[in-house]
Amino acid sequence: MGIFRVPVQPLERTMMTELFLRGFPWRSGRVSGQTSGCAGTHDADARPDRIDRGSTARCNSVPLPLWGLVLGLALAGAPSAEAQTCLTCHGSADFLRSVTGDSARAARLTVDPEEFRSTVHGAMGFSCELCHAGIGDFPHAASPRVACGGCHHREKEQLGHSVHGQPHALTGEEPAACIDCHSDHHIRRPSDPQSTVYRLTVFETCAVCHEDADKMRRFGQENVHTVASYLNSVHGRGLIAKGLTVAPICTDCHGKRGTGAHEIQIVPDSGSPMHREHVVETCGRCHAGIMAQYDRGLHGEQFRAGNLDSPTCISCHAEHGIQAVANPASGVNPLHISRTCTACHDREGFNTKYGIRAARGNTFARSFHGIALGSGQLTVANCESCHGAHEILPSSDPRSMIHASNLVATCGSCHPGIGKGVAQGRIHVASFEEEQSLVGAAVRWFYIIVIGVTVVYAFGLIALDQYRYRVVDPRRGGGSHA
């Protein structure tokens, strides 16, 4: 982790100096402040140590125009006077315990001064009151909840449109607030390894809720293993075991491109990158080469044409549980791939709909390769060996691996020297079986008809005989002999 750690203090200083000179934040637009009469209290060139601290009291309710002061304090490296006052009490757990008589509550009320100074706001010399507006001497009057959105307008607005920031239909609650993901007094930049939203560890923050079965069910979410299955996937292991920052994290797949975590939507929402319409593009952001192959194949072509039957990346690779091909848990591992393909290709009515001749899974399972594969011999051909994985094309397409002119090469990769005749033999035995079953059906019907006719004829004879015996000529019946 060491290499990721950026020395916070010096970075803050240079960044702050630069922002200061550029008149941050009004022009940068990253943090938008309220306009207020405080703006002119001190001019931007004022040296930090000359700023009139008395002015802060008047400006506490209108935070941002205090920037000159905040920046000045940061440059001077001095914690703000207000913070120090508050910390006289709030910096001491012992003191708070003696007042509240409740050690759990005292622990919550304690703010570690050292730690606070290393957080993003603390390092800028934020006074406590910049967030806790209106809190005064002890005993405190009831104070309003901290409004992060007062300064971070953009994030507030984005969150307001996301699933986390809107009252949920089932509970009426907003699922997640700023501090659920960022904490209150431990807020750090996302690039800081200690941040709750640091790329390599942000899943832990999501897991607090998303692995909490009771909480998620209250919100109608039955899948409470999203994080666990992600962690067990090739992506999760890439992130954690290999420390790959390029492995996708929750927000890469669920947040809108570029704006990340604050715009997460439910998957069925067309704004979600995991919505069927966008999922290929989202995976393709990293797997661009494979997306290009997919687009050249029939599956991709049909997907782009809006065919809802065609597979997207996650139809074959699963959602959170995506595994490396070599892993037997993967749906595209040679052991399972025919099941994955036949989920569609053997589906009731599928082949008729597309005019494909026979159920491909059944016929494959009964082929040489299928039988060998079924008994665990992984070197034989599976669907992918003959059709490819992403650039799958119909046999009529000259580029297809199963086009007559390419079969020698396709089969030849495992059967060197295979002859043209053998290679063009029927692979999906059904073509042969279909013919066989045609004869079979004819024979079957022949017998059914012959037997049916014979039975009807026999019963007819008996009935006629009885008729003559009992009705036409009763005198010759058995009774008259008695």
In the window 282-321, what residues touch ligand HEC (CB under 6 A)? Answer: 282-287, 290-291, 294, 298-299, 302, 307, 309-311, 313-317, 319-320
Q: Pick from 89, 93, 200, 329 the residue near ligand HEC by CB under 6 A.
A: 89
x/- map, 435-464, ligand HEC, by CB under 6 A: ------------------------------
Question: Which residues are CB-contacts of 147 (< 8 A; sequence separation ≥ 6)?
Answer: none
> Tokens representing 132?
């806790």
Question: Which residues are CB-contacts of 451 (< 8 A; sequence separation ≥ 6)?
Answer: none
- Residue span binding ligand HEC (CB under 6 A) among the ranges 225-233, 442-450, 454-462, 471-479: 225-233
**Residue 149 lies near ligand HEC (rule: CB under 6 A):** yes
The SS3 assignment for 284 reads helix
x/- map, 193-212, ligand HEC, by CB under 6 A: ----x----xx-xx-xxx--
- Residue span binding ligand HEC (CB under 6 A) among the ranges 2-10, 113-121, 437-445, 457-465: 113-121
Judging by beta carbons within 10 Å of its beta carbon (0-12, 13-18, 19+), is residue 405 exposed, middle or buried?
Answer: exposed
- Residue span binding ligand HEC (CB under 6 A) among the ranges 369-377, 449-457, 463-471, 474-482: 369-377
Q: How many residues bind ligand HEC (CB under 6 A)?
A: 167
Q: Which of residues 177-196 bind ligand HEC (CB under 6 A)?
A: 178-182, 184-185, 187, 189-190
The SS3 assignment for 260 reads strand
Name the residue nearer to ligand HEC (CB basis): 75 or 99.
99
Name the residue nearer to ligand HEC (CB basis): 339 or 468.
339
Q: Which of residues 18-47 bind ligand HEC (CB under 6 A)?
A: 25, 30-31
| Residues 74, 78: Cα–Cα separation, whole Å | 7
**Residue 100 lies near ligand HEC (rule: CB under 6 A):** yes
| Residues 337, 311: Cα–Cα separation, whole Å | 14
The SS3 assignment for 146 reads coil
Q: Which of residues 386-405 bind ligand HEC (CB under 6 A)?
A: 386-387, 389-390, 392, 394-395, 402
DSSP string, 206-228: HHHHHT-HHHHHHTT-----HHH
Answer for the pair 264, 251: CB distance below 8 angstroms, yes or no.
yes
Q: How far apart are the two ends of the chain, measured CA to CA in Å? A: 115
| Residues 294, 317: Cα–Cα separation, whole Å | 13
**Residue 86 lies near ligand HEC (rule: CB under 6 A):** yes
